[in-house]
Amino acid sequence: MRINVIYSGGTIGMVETDSGLAPGADLDTWLKELVSRRPTIGEVTLTEFETLIDSSNATPADWQALVDTLWNSRDDADGFVILHGTDTMAYASSALAFALRGFGKPVVLTGSQLPIGALDTDAYANVVDALMAITSGNVRGVALVFGRSIINGASATKWSSWNFEGFSSPNSPVLATTGAPWQWSDFGDKAFSSDVGDINKYDRHDVVVLDLVPGITATRVKAMLEPRPEAVILRAYGTGNIPADEPGLVDVLVEIVNDGVEVIVSSQCMQAHVVLGHYESGYALAELGVVSALNMTFEACYAKTIFLLSQGMHGKEFRDWMETPLCGELTLGTA
Ligand code: ASP
């Protein structure tokens, strides 16, 4: 099997410098050594991006650069591993899952909490697991591999900044847990979709993410939405509840919906299923014509919002697609 490893940046390939961790590790030699100890993995090549970034600097243009690189090298390998910074890796894996439906080859993102040169690095296990996820033949779309879990790309979330098992899949089963032997679930059959039309490139869109907190006022919310963004992801409580008794708050939301801003109601709970109108305090939202993030992770919800806006979708079309499962990001009934 031919696997192309693409290094885009992140801790995994960094070294200590006087001004903190920065890219500079000899990944090529490290990878060659690793593969020589696992000949069953096959032929592994390394592609390093010219500009290596800390993934906290990533924008939708970086997601698109990954998509373009993958399409341009599609015929050169049977599967791809992307070495990525962990900070925004779940956003990138979600974005790639939406844009690469129809790609037809496995793409696995991984990274590490510690650089390859650290004595107790988690990079070795994560990269070996990513390579083995591809050789298994069970990954048919985009996946994220970290800390012994193989997770559908559009279901992953970074829950810990330091834990070696720093990613989880809060709303759906993991694809596999590594071990001796690996335990695969049948979730991959539901997650990987090949149903796809033409896909526009990712571009930047003005999306406000608004966290509700006890005591927030309508005046503050109104000010945060001037000038009008294209979309608002409202991070509400629990199943999608808002402080509807706060004077003027619902009026502000009515105004932005009437102004054509897409409003997506997500939850502050990492594990959530948003049901608008389940409580009286969420009922006002249900009446407004907003759309529910249902049980998408926040990262998938944000990436899907940018994806649909990049496809030129607005209004009913945007809302209908937001609630339509594309690549395992909506997994109602499978948690
Ligand atoms: N700041 C780093 C990044 O996301 C963190 C990491 O890779 O773990 O690029």
Set out the domains of the chain in order of their start, with CATH numbers: 2-189 (3.40.50.1170), 207-322 (3.40.50.40)
pLDDT score for 94: 98
Mean pLDDT of 20-27: 92
pLDDT band at 289 (very low <50, low <70, confident <90, very high): confident
pLDDT at position 160 over 70: yes
When pLDDT is cut at 50, 70 and 90, the band that residue 334 belongs to is very low
Adjacent-strand bridge partners of 291: 264
pTM above 0.75, yes or no: yes
Q: Would you call 11 a catalytic residue per the annotation?
A: yes
Q: Which residues contact 5 (CB under 8 A, 6 or more apart)?
A: 31, 44, 45, 46, 47, 80, 81, 82, 83, 127
CA 217-220-221 angle, to 5 degrees, is: 85
Q: Which tokens go with 282? A: 């969420």
For the beta sheet containing 231-236, the strands, ordered from the edge strand earlier in sequence to the opposite edge, are 207-211, 231-236, 262-267, 291-292
pLDDT per position as a tens digit, 184-236: 998 777 676 656 678 999 999 999 999 999 999 999 999 999 999 999 999 99
CA of 161 to the centre of ligand 1 (A): 9
Give the model's pLDDT for residue 333.
55
Residue 26 Cα to ligand 1 midpoint, Å, equals: 17
Instruction: Identify the band that residue 331 occupies on the pLDDT scale cut at 50, 70 and 90.
Output: confident
Mean pLDDT of 293-300: 97
Go through the chain and tell me how many residues it has: 335
Phi, psi of 7, rounded to the nearest 5 degrees: -100, 115
Q: Are 99 and 199 in contact (CB under 8 A)?
A: yes
For ligand 1, whether the C-beta of 85 sits within 6 Å is: yes
115 alpha carbon – ligand 1 mean position (Å)? 10
Q: Per the structure block, which two tokens stand in for 299?
A: 């990262």
Tens digits of residue pLDDT in 36-80: 998 889 999 999 999 999 999 999 999 999 999 999 999 999 999
Helix axes 123-135, 27-36, angle to 10 degrees: 60
